[in-house]
Structure 1
């Protein structure tokens, strides 16, 4: 079972400042960058998902492993890290040290997960899945760099970094997804639109540290949803659907902003009205930016995202996580645990409130939020996961 130590370690990415030796008009945070990277990886992956060797699980786990590695080797500047990476022996030693640091935190997830973490960095083969993640990483990095360059176009190292990023990106120009992004401005606009969620703060009316964004929160929910899926021995399609539901569940907020729950509950029918408006705006603003054959998935991830569903005879059926585990835990049913995604969403908010209190925020709303989530999940059992035990770790 996932424990408090790992939950807090992953949350550390919300504190990590990027480009902190450069002029930045806005804060650029590691959690946000990793989230944007995984959205880009989804876009690149969709163009290659029928290619030989492609695997969504390897994309998802690779993203998680790379984030955990980044959390451990946080002080290494990219040029130094890439220099080490070129030396096989030194890179192996670095990864061995990183694994020893992270092992106590991930060992509750099981030997299989630990071994896959080790193997991911020991295997130097440049697979399609790793190349997609690397291309997504560079695209997200270049997206940040464009902001920095605009603020300080003649700054020290700016031209060198620009040339280096262009050189590295060219290595992935053969990927189908990169070719499509280069060809179609609307696909790039979709990535830009998702990137705006970096600038939308959660709990925006309250002072707190760290100031998490909607996109960073979404990655956190995605990772928790995936780890919960592993715990319930979910089939591959269920794992993938649960992860990307977490990653995209707040995408409509790019059109409406993050409206806090007390406001949604303050007027009867307001929450439903907001949902309807989000649905209309998604149809108007978002779906035209992506290929039509992606639409059913994006709708699944963003509309009634906390419903547990399966597909039977090409029709979506609402069910629950227990029934999915017992009857529908098979790729052919295209299952999605909305209940697990909702539990991950609530746990993420609980941890955000806990961090705010721990870091000195006196606002009573955080205390009330913590109590509310604990009351809701203190005795909850979803798909045989005891959420009360997870919340008890924080007492």
Structure 2
């Protein structure tokens, strides 16, 4: 059988998010994964540089883990979070489905590379690395909600509240997440003209 891993990964651009929320601009899983990787990398750098008293993390590994965090969705599609977390049994079934998809994806990787990719696709839950990646995932969803609200799409009013509530434990427990929120998130309320002006003003 031909190795099809990267051909499958390229299909992340065909998996659309927010299908039940009527976004003003569609977002696919590939775009989302890149943003989560950027945010996870930034959180790692903030952790290491702004809070040097903390145990160091590998910001580059965080970025790569984040890049693959939604990889199973090339097989499962995106499951709406309101449905996924609606009941314990539903969450259990969704996670079982994700685990099966992950096993299938790992099976598409040539044997010499499997041991390197498997941990990226099957990242654990609860450890600091997983928490940072999850926080980055939520930050991506939160900033998407802010962008939609800025565009006047009140469909995302509830999303903004729910995602902020989900972020709050990370804000409370991880100083790097609070620092990111305090320093970067306000700019997502700005228009492109404001952002360009700020870029020139920073020179």
Asked whether 1:302 is paired with 2:121, we answer yes
Gaps of 5+ in 2: 50-54, 190-203
Candidates 177, 182, 189, aligned match of 1:389: 182
Structure 2 length normalisation: TM-score? Answer: 0.76
Candidates 139, 157, 178, aligned match of 1:347: 139
Q: Higher relative contact order by CA 8 Å / sep ≥ 6: 1 or 2?
A: 2
Q: State the alpha-carbon separation in 2 of the partners of residues 248 and 375 from structure 1.
A: 25
Asked whether 1:259 is paired with 2:79, we answer yes
Distance 1:199 1:386, change over 3 A: closer
Q: State the alpha-carbon separation in 2 of the partners of residues 292 and 348 from structure 1.
A: 33
Structure 1 length normalisation: TM-score? Answer: 0.41
Q: State the alpha-carbon separation in 2 of the partners of residues 195 and 386 from structure 1.
A: 30
Distance 1:346 1:306, change over 3 A: farther
- Identify the residue that residue 110 of structure 2 maps to in structure 1: 291
* Higher CA-based Rg: 1
Q: State the alpha-carbon separation in 2 of the partners of residues 224 and 392 from structure 1.
A: 11
Distance 1:243 1:265, change over 3 A: same
Shift of 1:368: 1.4
Give the CA RMSD over aligned residues: 2.7
Q: State the alpha-carbon separation in 2 of the partners of residues 281 and 306 from structure 1.
A: 17
Q: State the alpha-carbon separation in 1 of the partners of residues 146 and 166 from structure 2.
A: 16
Shift of 1:237: 7.2
Asked whether 1:197 is paired with 2:12, we answer yes
Q: State the alpha-carbon separation in 1 of the partners of residues 94 and 31 from structure 2.
A: 22
Summarize the alignment of residues 1-395 of structure 1 with structure 2, pairs less than 5 Å apart: 185-186=2-3, 189-233=4-48, 238-283=58-103, 285-308=104-127, 321=128, 337-363=129-155, 366-378=156-168, 380-387=171-178, 388-390=181-183, 393=186
How many residues are paired up? 180
Shift of 1:297: 4.0
Distance 1:296 1:390, change over 3 A: farther
SS of structure 2 residue aligned to 1:266: coil
Shift of 1:258: 0.3
Distance 1:306 1:226, change over 3 A: farther
